[in-house]
Amino acid sequence: MFTDKSGTKALGFLYDMRPSGSLWTPGAGSAQLLDLYGNPLAAGTVPLGFEPCYLTGTPAEVERMLSRSAFKVANPVELFGRFFNDELYIEARNRTGSAGIVDAKVGALPVRFAFEDDPEYAVIRLPGIKTVPENVKMAARTPAYTLPAAVKLSRGTTAHLSAGNGLLKVELIVADPSMKPAEGDSLWGGSSVEIFLDPAPFRELDRDAVKPYQYAFAALPSKGAGMTVLAVRNPATKASRKVEKTADGYRMEILIPLNELPPAAVYGFDIEINRPGEKTKESLGTNPGNSYRYRLHYHLFRLPDAQLPNGDFAQASFGDPAAWCYEIRSGVSFRSAPEFGRTGNGMKVEVRKPDVRPAVAGQRFKIEPGRFSHGVFQILARYENVQTLKSGRGRNGVRFAVGFPRGRSEYGYDKLKADMTGSSDWTLYQLEFKIPADADYLVPEFGFGPATTGALFVDSATLTLYGDKK
C-alpha cells in the first residue's frame, strides 16, 4: 500500500503469482476497486492472477479492506488420468504454489492430496471407476497386465513376461529366417529384440516424449564389438540373454535386473523386434520404431506382489477380511461387507467403549531393505460420530498410520496436528512417509486411537512405494 504526500489518499494492490491464481473477496469498506487499466470493478469476488487489482481511497479504508480480505485458490490441482484395466490412476498437479495437504475433488469425490515429498505431483488410484470425472484429462487407454502374462506383438510373435528373484524375464520365439548380426554397438541394426521401460507411466501424462530405459538384445554377437546386450542408460548393465536357434529363427530368454530401474509397482513397456531388411519393426505397441522417444502408446504391466494384499477387502470370510489383523475385545468390532464400502466390499471399525488402547486393523508388508526411500498410504474412508474423551493432538480420533522398524508416521499426529473427530463423507486421504534404509517391513493400519468412540468405514487401502530417482 502506498500513500500520497498528504497522507489522505492511498493505493493498494494485489496479484497472485501462483499458476492457478485465486478468488479474492476484499473486506467490507468504501475504497474503490480497479482493474489493471483503472476500470472500476464491481464489489464481490474478483479473479486474481498475474495482473494486479487496485484499491484506492483513504489509507484506513484501503488497509481495512486489504487486511480483511479472503482468498480461495481457483483451481488447486490440475488432473490427468490413465487407466490400468478398470483402475483409474489420477495424476494431480499442484497449482497452489504451496507444499503440504491440498484439498480438491476428483469429480464429486473429495481428495486430500499430499504434496510434501514432491510439492508438484501426486498420484492416486481409484478402483472400479465406470465414468471418468469431467475434470480429468485422459491419456489414451492401452492394454494392461499383471505378471505373469503373455502378450502378442503386431505380427503374431508371443512374448511371455514374468518377474521373480529381482528379475524381469521376457521369453520369445522369433521367426527370422535371415538372421544377421549388427555392426558395432548398434544392436538394433541386426536381428535383435528391444525392450523399452517407463517407470513412471502415471506421471506427466500430457507429455509423450520420454527417455526410456532402453535395452537391446542381439540374436547374434555384433560384428567387431561382439556385443550381445546393450542398455542405453547403463553401460554396466547386468541384463543378459540366452539364444537358441530354431528352424526359422531363434528362441530368446531375456533377464533384466529390476534394481537397474527405479522402483515401481506398474511400468510402461514396449517390445520391438528388428529384422534386417525390413522397414517396419514388429512391435507390441502402436508406434513401431518410435518407442525410444515416445511412451504413451506403451502397454502397462504390474509386478506380482506389488499391491497391498486384500486392499479392496474383496476377500472375506464371515465378515473377517483376509490379510488384515486386529485385536478382538469387548466394545470393539471389525467387519467386512459390501454395505461398508463405496464401490464394493468395505470394512467397518466400530468402537462403542473408549479404551486406553487403540483399535486398529493392520498388516505386515515385507519390503527389500534399501530399495525404497519413501511411500504413500492411500485410504478411501468415511467416519461417523467420532468422539474423544480428551484431545490427543492427533493421537486420538480416527487413525491412519504406517509403522516401520523403530518408528511410525500418523496422519492426525504428524500431518494435521489434531484429532480427526465428528463425521465425514467419503474422502480419499494420502499419508506420505519416509522409509528408513534398513527397514524390511511396513505396517499400514487404520482405525481409532485411544480414548475414542465412533465408526470408521474403509472402502480401499493402497500402499505405493518409491525409490530415489536414477
CATH number for the domain including 462? 2.60.120.260
Rounded to whole angstroms, how far apart are CA atoms 360 and 324? 10
Residue located via cell numbers 473377517: 320
For residue 73, is pLDDT > 80?
A: no
Q: Judge whether 333 lies within some domain.
A: yes
Residues 44 and 100 in one domain: no
The predicted-structure confidence for 23-49, as pLDDT tens digits, reads as follows: 888 888 888 998 888 888 888 888 888
Identify whether the C-beta of residue 54 lies closer than 8 Å to the C-beta of residue 24: no
From 302, 334, 350, give the residue that closes a domain: 302
The SS3 assignment for 127 reads: coil
Q: Judge whether 310 lies within some domain.
A: no
Q: Judge whether 406 lies within some domain.
A: yes
The predicted-structure confidence for 329-360, as pLDDT tens digits, reads as follows: 999 999 999 999 998 899 999 999 999 999 99
DSSP state of 239: -
Q: Residue 460's beta-bridge partner residues? A: 380
Residue located via cell numbers 498528504: 6
Percent of the chain residues past pLDDT 70, beyond the cut: 99
Q: What is the mean pLDDT of residues 176-202?
A: 96
Residues 58-87 as b or e (16 or more Cβ within 10 Å = b): bbebbbbbbeebeeebbbbbbbbbbbbeeb
pLDDT at position 20 = 65
Question: Which among 13, 19, 59, 15 is positioned nearest to 38, based on CA atoms?
Answer: 13
Q: Judge whether 129 lies within some domain.
A: yes
For the chain, how many structural domains are there in total?
4
Counting Cβ atoms within 10 Å, is residue 120 exposed (0-12), middle (13-18) or buried (19+)?
Answer: exposed
Q: Judge whether 351 lies within some domain.
A: yes
Q: Judge whether 309 lies within some domain.
A: no
Q: What cell does 311 get?
A: 486392499
* 249-257 and 167-175 strand pairing: antiparallel
Residues 91 and 221 in one domain: no
Q: What is the mean pLDDT of residues 308-312?
A: 95
Residues 217 and 230 in one domain: yes
Residues 221 and 368 in one domain: no
pLDDT category at 97 given cuts 50, 70, 90 is confident
From 302, 332, 353, give the residue that closes a domain: 302
* 32-34 and 77-84 strand pairing: unpaired
pLDDT category at 120 given cuts 50, 70, 90 is very high
Question: Could you report how far apart the first and last alpha carbons of the chain are, in Å?
Answer: 48
For residue 440, is pLDDT > 80?
A: yes
The amino acid occupying position 398 is V
Q: Judge whether 311 lies within some domain.
A: no
Whether the CA torsion 323, 300, 430, 211 is positive or negative: it is: positive
The SS3 assignment for 426 reads: strand
Q: Which residues constitute the domain of residue 83? A: 77-138
Percent of the chain residues past pLDDT 90, beyond the cut: 79
What pTM does this model have?
Answer: 0.86
Residues in the chain: 470
Rounded to whole angstroms, how far apart are CA atoms 218 and 176? 12
The predicted-structure confidence for 275-296, as pLDDT tens digits, reads as follows: 999 999 999 999 999 999 999 9
Residues 41 and 166 in one domain: no
pLDDT at position 221 = 97
CATH number for the domain including 291? 2.60.40.1190
Residues 295 and 330 in one domain: no
Residues 148 and 101 in one domain: no
Residue located via cell numbers 527370422: 176
3-state secondary structure 241-289: EEEEEECCEEEEEEEEEHHHCCCCCEEEEEEEEECCCCCCCEECCCCCC
pLDDT category at 367 given cuts 50, 70, 90 is very high
Rounded to whole angstroms, how far apart are CA atoms 449 and 412? 10
Residues 451 and 379 in one domain: yes
Residues 321 and 460 in one domain: yes
From 271, 302, 333, give the residue that closes a domain: 302
pLDDT at position 236 = 95
Residues 292 and 341 in one domain: no
pLDDT at position 344 = 87
Average pLDDT of the chain to the nearest whole number: 94
Residues 23 and 101 in one domain: no
Least confident of 87-101, 188-202, 429-443, 447-461: 87-101
Q: Judge whether 307 lies within some domain.
A: no
The predicted-structure confidence for 207-265, as pLDDT tens digits, reads as follows: 999 999 999 999 999 998 899 999 999 999 999 999 999 999 999 999 999 999 999 99
Rounded to whole angstroms, how far apart are CA atoms 25 and 35? 14
Residues 297 and 156 in one domain: yes
pLDDT category at 111 given cuts 50, 70, 90 is very high
Within 10 angstroms of residue 140's Cβ, the number of other Cβ atoms is: 11
The predicted-structure confidence for 144-165, as pLDDT tens digits, reads as follows: 999 999 999 999 999 999 999 9
Q: What is the mean pLDDT of residues 183-209?
A: 96
